[in-house]
Amino acid sequence: MKHFFSIIGGMGTIATESYVRLINHRVKIKRDQDYLNYILVNDAQVPDRTAYIMDHEKPNFFYDLKDDVLGQAQLHPDFFVMPCNTAHYFYDDLAALTDIPFLHMMRIAVHKFVEDYPDEKKIGLIATEGSIYDHLYADEIHEVGREVELGGSEIQPMVNELIYSNIKEKGVVDGELYHRILKKMHDDYGCNVILLGCTELSLAQEKAPDHPYNVIDPQSIIADVSIELALKIRKGMDPKEACSKYLYE
């Protein structure tokens, strides 16, 4: 297969399925050959990311991802994409394993926020406890000179229920709960824009988009970027040159 990218997924599987569905449905096609070339590594056995980040006595998920990246690197994809926000805890270590471009979903999303909402000095953030605990998104947001609003103590339990109890455990999206979280972040904490810092939240946005709130959806954004890069490379652009636009330092 010529010119393909590798997806390091399975964290979780339903969220990865959402990313794949987005790239398949958003690319413009007239024939089968117009779809993108990619290899999906749906590694559902990667240990829980939040559990390890909050307690290093828990299984370390780096080694599973390392094996996945090194295995795919032998096939020489044009670039890597990893549709899991919390797994970016080990982004630097994973990207250092190969000279193949490795897109940073969180960084790309934060720069998209600045581009789309240049006058907004604050962004609401809802995410896994692991991402919140280790400031994965907060650091990226502060790096571009913006403030982060996490809401009050009632927000995280609601987010956890949506991510774990509903989507991961039952495979369903509670749209009413998702909308309630967005409403509280907007009405109670003054967030004109809310960043969905977990791919399960991106799935909620895909399944329940009928709300009036402004969201930054990293999975949707990385899907669009994946399509853009894959098509540029297919037309003859060097993969590293194509990806350089999104490899923010």
Nearest to 83 by CA among 191, 206, 1: 206
Alpha carbon distance 203, 23 (integer Å): 14
Write down the pLDDT at residue 248: 86
Alpha carbon distance 199, 218 (integer Å): 8
Helix axes 13-26, 199-207, angle to 10 degrees: 50
Q: In DSSP terms, which residues pair with 39 in a beta bridge?
A: 6
Write down the pLDDT at residue 208: 98
Write down the pLDDT at residue 33: 96
Q: Concatenated DSSP letters for 69-91?
A: HHHHHTT--S-EE---SGGGGGH
**Does 198 participate in catalysis according to the annotation?**
yes
Mean pLDDT, each 10-residue run in order, the chain (249 residues): 96 95 96 97 97 96 98 98 96 98 97 97 96 94 97 97 95 96 98 97 97 98 98 97 92
Nearest to 61 by CA among 19, 17, 102, 8: 8
Q: Cβ distance 199 to 130 under 8 Å?
A: no
Catalytic site residue from 84, 173, 182, 230? 84
Write down the pLDDT at residue 21: 96
pTM recorded for the entire structure: 0.95
CA 233 to chain centroid, in Å, comes to: 22
Alpha carbon distance 137, 148 (integer Å): 9
| Structure-token pair, residue 77 | 């994809």
Write down the pLDDT at residue 205: 97
Helices (H), the chain: 13-26, 49-54, 62-73, 91-95, 105-116, 129-133, 136-143, 155-160, 169-170, 175-187, 199-207, 218-234, 239-243
Catalytic site residue from 7, 105, 198, 229? 198
Alpha carbon distance 112, 229 (integer Å): 16
| Structure-token pair, residue 53 | 């980040």
**Does 243 participate in catalysis according to the annotation?**
no
Angstrom CA distances, 67 to 3, 71, 74, 100, 242, stand at: 22, 6, 11, 15, 26
